[in-house]
């Protein structure tokens, strides 16, 4: 059975990093964007990271530009934006695709382990679902992730235990992280 520790990703400098380096930690793996309506999630993510990193918690940030081109710029520009605007200190990796033929194997694995179950109820979620479906139509059965700031919670053994769509309240995400710790 696979775990996230079986995957190798690229850091911002293009160097291969085995996720086995994070073995024994609780992980929150997030696909992000700098120009999205959910970009303010960086603030509670950083607060959660500061509060819990000493307990064995890591946030792994993977910028992605597949949703309405909301992550323009190269890896250094994205990193500068996130550190200057939100003071983020958690690890940020090279920009990835999360859908389609060029999808990161890590994100294909995460989404297979915890498939999309919907954005929730309400008018905002209804419209996001319509927009996401139009955007992701081009990826067919490889539309693993529906929008920016999808979060996957991974336990200390490397197993995916939860998926949070960007519409989930960050307090709920924090509560799940605390329980996993």
Task: Write the pLDDT tens digit of every residue in 98-119.
Answer: 999 999 999 999 999 999 888 8
Distance from C-alpha of 43 to C-alpha of 87, rounded to nearest angstrom:
8
Summarised one tens digit per residue, pLDDT across range 26-50 is 999 999 999 888 889 999 999 999 9
Q: Pick the closest to residue 63 from 39, 96, 91 (CA basis).
A: 96
DSSP characters over 32-70 = E-SSSTTGGGHHHHHHHHHHHGGGTEEEEEEE--TTTT-
* Confidence check: pLDDT of 71 > 80: yes
Residue 34, class by beta-carbon neighbours within 10 Å (0-12 exposed, 13-18 middle, 19+ buried)?
buried
Helix ranges (DSSP H) in the chain: 42-52, 75-86, 105-113, 123-136, 170-180
pLDDT at 1: 66
Which residues are identified as catalytic? 36
DSSP three-state, residue 11:
strand
Q: Is CATH 3.90.1150.10 the classification given to domain 4-180?
A: no
The confidence score (pLDDT) of residue 118 equals 85
Res. 141 pLDDT band, cuts 50 70 90: confident
How many residues are present in the chain? Answer: 181
Neighbours of 74 (CB within 10 A): 12
Both tokens of 59, joined, read 């946030």
């Amino acid at each position: 059975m696979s775990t996230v520790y079986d995957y190798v990703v690229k850091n911002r400098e293009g160097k291969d990093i085995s996720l086995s380096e994070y073995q024994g930690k609780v992980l929150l793996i997030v696909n992000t964007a700098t120009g999205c309506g959910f970009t303010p999630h960086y603030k509670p993510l950083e607060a959660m990271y500061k509060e819990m990193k000493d307990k064995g918690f890591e946030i792994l940030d993977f910028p992605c530009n597949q949703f309405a081109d909301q992550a323009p710029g190269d890896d250094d520009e994205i990193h500068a934006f996130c550190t200057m605007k939100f003071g983020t200190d958690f690890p940020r990796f090279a920009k990835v695709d999360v859908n389609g033929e060029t999808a990161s194997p890590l994100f294909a694995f995460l989404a297979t382990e915890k498939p999309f179950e919907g954005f929730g109820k309400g008018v905002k979620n209804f419209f996001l679902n319509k927009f996401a479906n139009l955007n992701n139509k081009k990826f067919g059965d490889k539309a693993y992730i529906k929008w920016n700031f999808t979060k996957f919670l991974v336990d200390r053994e490397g197993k995916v235990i939860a998926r949070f769509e960007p519409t989930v309240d960050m307090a709920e995400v924090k509560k799940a992280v605390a329980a996993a710790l």
